[in-house]
Structure 1
Amino acid sequence: MLAWIAGALLATYLALCVLLYLQQRRLIYYPQFTRVDAGQTDFSLARPDAVLRGWVVNPGRTHALLYFGGNAESVDANREAFARALPSHTVYLVAYRGYGASDGAPTETALLADALALHDEVATRHPDGQVAVAGRSLGSGVATHVAAERDVSSLILITPFDSLVAVAQAHYPIFPVRLLLDDRYDSTARLPRHRGKLLVLRAGRDTVVPPLHTDRLLTAFKGPTQVQDFPAAGHDDLSLDPAYWPAIGSFLDADVE
C-alpha cells in the first residue's frame, strides 16, 4: 500500500512538472489583457514574421526613450504620464508581439530580437540624439539585453530581476524550474556588457520580484549606478509614488544636458 501511494504521488508530481513545462508561457506572458485595435496605434515596425505596433509620445525630440513593459502591461496606458514627465524625449511605447495590436506570439527569442530591431529603427530616427532604454519587470530583461548588445548611454530598470529562472524557482520551490523553463531572461549574465549608466527603481514590498533578486542583479554591474528605493511600494503600485517620475526624468535629463 505504501509503495502504491508513493507511486501515485510520484506520478502526480511528474504530471504537474509536465503541465508546468507545457503551460510555462501562459504563466509568463499575459497578452490577453492588453489587446487593442491596430487603428488605435501610430507606429509600426515590420518584422520577418510579424508587425509590431505601438505609440510615439512627444514626437520630434532630439533624444529618445524606448520603453519595455511588464508581462501584463498595456504600454499605451503610460502615454500621458510619459508625455508629462519626459518633455525632452520622444518616447516609443511598442507592444511586444502578441500584445496590444502587435502580431505573433511572445517568446524570449522573438522578444529579444524584436527589441534590437526596435532600437535600431529608433536610432535611425534620432541620428543626432541619445537613445535611452527602460524596462519594467519582465521588460527589464528585454531592456538589459538591448543595453548589452547596443550602445546605450542610459539604462533604466524598474523592479528588475537577476533572472526569470531564479524568480520562478523561488515562487515554485518544489518544482525543478531551472530544468523546465525555456524563456530564462538571464539579466545577471547580460548586464555587465552594458557600458553606460544605470538607474534601478526598487520596490521594498515587492512580492513578485522580491528585492533580493534586484540586489543580486546589482552586484553584477560595476558601472555608474543610481538606486532609487521605494520602501512602501509594491510591484504594481510603484509608479504611483510621487518620486517615481521625477527620478526617471532627472536621470535622463542629466544625460542630455
Structure 2
Amino acid sequence: MKLLRRIAVSLLVLVVVLYAAAVGYMYVNQRALQYDAKGEVTPLAQTALVGAEEIAVPSGDGVVHGWYQAPRAGMPVIVYYKGNSGSFSREHERYEQFVADGYGFVAFDYRGFPASPGSISQAGILEDATTMFDWAAAKGFPLVIWGRSLGSGPSTYVASVRDAKALLLETPFLSAVTVAWERYPFLPVGLVMQDQFPVNEWIADVSEPVLVAHGTADVTIGVSNGERLYALVPNKDELWIEPGAGHSDLWARGIWSHAMPFFERAMTQ
C-alpha cells in the first residue's frame, strides 16, 4: 500500500509540474502563440488600385503603414481592420472591389505585423486602430468600419469611442479570451492572458448600426461567438450566418452583397 501511495503521489507531483510548465510556457510565449504576424507584403504597384496611395502614419512609438484611396462624391471611406494572419496587403482584391463600387478605403498593418515595424500588444493595436480612424476622419468623408476576425476587437473598440456611420463585424469573437478558453479549457487563460480584447464589453458602448457575419463551419472562431455577440448589440441591423462557411470563406460567399446595402442603409440614418 505504501508503494502504491508513493507512486500515486509521484504521479500527482509530475502532473502538477507538467501543468505548471504548460501554463508558464503559455504565459511567457502567449503573444507568439496568439498572433500570426508573418507574411509577405504585396506591393501596391502589383494591384489594380491605380488611384490608391501608400501612407505612413505616426502612432505611439512607431509608424503605421497602409494604403488609402478617397471615395467617389457622396460615398464613405471604409476603415478596414485586418485579421490576425499576415499583412493587410494580401486582401487587395477586397479593396479593389470597394473602389470599383465607389467606396474609399484605408487599410493597414498594426505595429508588429509585416508592413509596420514594432512589437504587438493589445494596447498597441488599439492605439494604431484609433490613430488610423482619426487620420481618416480628418479627410472629411463619412466613415464606416469593417473589422475582420482579430480586427473585430479594435474595430469595436474604436466604434465605442468614436463616431462612425456603421460597424461591420466579420467572423468576430465574443472576446479573445473566450476563444482561448474554448480551445484550452484545461488552462487558466483568464488569469494569464494579457491581450483579452473584451469585445463583449466594448459593444455596449457602440451606438452605430451593426452587422455581424459568421459561418457555421468556422473552426478558428466558432459561430456561437458571432451569435452571442450580436445578442449584445444595442443597435442591431443584421446577423448573417452562412451555412457551411469557414473562417476565410465569407468574401467568396458574398459578404460584399450584404455589406453594400448595410452601408447604404446606414448612410441614410
TM-score by length of 2: 0.88
Secondary structure of the 2:123 match is helix
- The answer to whether the 8 Å contact 1:148/1:193 transfers is yes
| Match status 1:249 vs 2:263 | no
Q: For the residues of structure 1 that align with 2:113 and 2:163, how far apart are their CA atoms?
A: 27
| Match status 1:21 vs 2:27 | yes
Secondary structure of the 2:64 match is strand
Q: Which has the higher contact order (CA 8 A, sep 6+)?
A: 1
Residue 222 of structure 1, CA deviation: 2.4
Query: What is the identity, as a one-letter code, of the residue corresponding to 2:259?
Result: I
Query: What is the identity, as a one-letter code, of the residue corresponding to 1:225?
Result: D
RMSD: 2.0
Q: Deviations over 1:65-110 (max 9, x none)?
A: 1111111043212223322245222111111111132121110011
Q: For the residues of structure 2 that align with 1:119 and 1:251, how far apart are their CA atoms?
A: 20
Match of 1:170 among 176, 179, 182: 182
Where do 5+ consecutive residues of structure 1 fail to align?
none
Q: Deviations over 1:197-247 (max 9, x none)?
A: 011111111111111111221121121321122111011222211x22111
Matches within 5 A, 1:110-121: 110-121=124-135
- The answer to whether the 8 Å contact 1:38/1:53 transfers is no
Matches within 5 A, 1:85-124: 85-86=98-99, 87-124=101-138
Q: Aligned residue for 1:76?
A: 89
Q: Deviations over 1:1-37 (max 9, x none)?
A: 2211211111011011000111110111111124568
Q: Aligned residue for 1:209?
A: 221
TM-score by length of 1: 0.92
Where do 5+ consecutive residues of structure 2 fail to align?
1-6, 47-52
| Match status 1:152 vs 2:179 | no
- The answer to whether the 8 Å contact 1:45/1:52 transfers is yes
Q: For the residues of structure 1 that align with 2:212 and 2:127, how far apart are their CA atoms?
A: 24
Which range is displaced more, 187-196 or 220-229?
Answer: 220-229
Match of 1:141 among 153, 158, 164: 153
Q: For the residues of structure 1 that align with 2:138 and 2:128, how far apart are their CA atoms?
A: 16
Q: For the residues of structure 2 that align with 1:96 and 1:138, how far apart are their CA atoms?
A: 11
Residue 135 of structure 1, CA deviation: 0.6
Q: For the residues of structure 1 that align with 2:232 and 2:72, how far apart are their CA atoms?
A: 36
Residue 60 of structure 1, CA deviation: 6.1
Q: For the residues of structure 2 that align with 1:123 and 1:252, how far apart are their CA atoms?
A: 17
- The answer to whether the 8 Å contact 1:85/1:246 transfers is no
Query: What is the identity, as a one-letter code, of the residue corresponding to 1:176?
Result: P
Q: Report the count of equivalent residues.
A: 254
Secondary structure of the 1:151 match is coil
- The answer to whether the 8 Å contact 2:40/2:86 transfers is yes
Secondary structure of the 1:253 match is helix
Larger radius of gyration: 2
Which range is displaced more, 209-218 or 156-165?
Answer: 209-218
Q: Aligned residue for 1:9?
A: 15
Q: For the residues of structure 2 that align with 1:113 and 1:181, how far apart are their CA atoms?
A: 19
Q: For the residues of structure 2 that align with 1:37 and 1:240, how far apart are their CA atoms?
A: 23
Identity of aligned residues (%): 27
Residue 59 of structure 1, CA deviation: 5.5
Shift in CA distance, 18/36, structure 1 to aligned 2, threshold 3 Å: farther
